[in-house]
Structure 1
């Protein structure tokens, strides 16, 4: 589906949320922000997801990450549903804002429309999408799940950790990378520059091609 994607700037839309009316760019400010949509209030998978996201909120905040949800239900529905979310996931408090989009305009602007699912009235519903947006208001990473499949918050946290390091150092993270494990130095960085950038030293994999492109380094 064409629309907003990696590298694009999210529109500065004026939205109604459970925390009042806000400009999206003002909310993002100088922080990394996770914008996530859910197909509908009072639905099973979404209830489990928003409770888990609430439990992770402090960890996200410690990494400088803000959260904001979105569905096509109205504000009153959101506020009533939050009671169920908090009851189902003990210890969770939904203190992040949730955007109301009853006219289904915002999900189109943010490219969060499910191409197949419809509600009971035949209207389009949001996909189970998640955009990680940088302080520059550009999309750094996106997940797109069908309504039937819940997201994995451990993976969301993992990619936040990866993006933080990619932003801080000129590196990339390899398959299954987790914090504390070595990262890789991109081929665009010469050995000479790599030695200057990473005085702690790095390891180069010995490959049959004898090409020195797979270089590992610990950054923190």
Structure 2
């Protein structure tokens, strides 16, 4: 099996309720920042890194996402009945992504700096990693108000704690998803097991990043993209 990741899933199924009126009539990934949609900004990073196959999952106003992406070299996977969350969404997309480790990325962030997919690919070590999460030093995590997500040990392995913030981009081996009984579940269920095994690692992003989960993140993202 090829252990060099190339397939990618972009998460675009959520309701975006924290964005208020901005998502009343459109999905959050189609909000424009810096002259382009959040979704197009994320996809451009994947395309620049030569990723493929590319899958975008969709649920809330999925038809708008399908129309927006019509003619692109990717697949839109409509979670018609319910949102499967990140873990369930990835497992649902595996028939389109193929075997082996895959990239995933949330579509509600703005990036400026090195291509996150290329950084992850260069740091991926399949002999000891089952997940590699790209994280942001707390002082560089614009628009993020939490206490942090992970602590790193001296080898780069991660544990939960008030340290760097998860950026929403990772490489993960999805094999362990088969052992999870729920249909709807967060990626954290898989991370729990990989952290316990010592096969979940983190990588710090050296550029600028902004969480666009709330309206007050939009001007911060605009500044990054300028």
Q: Shorter-chain TM-score: what band?
A: under 0.3
TM-score by length of 2: 0.24
**Bigger Rg over Cα:** 1
Q: Which has the higher contact order (CA 8 A, sep 6+)?
A: 2
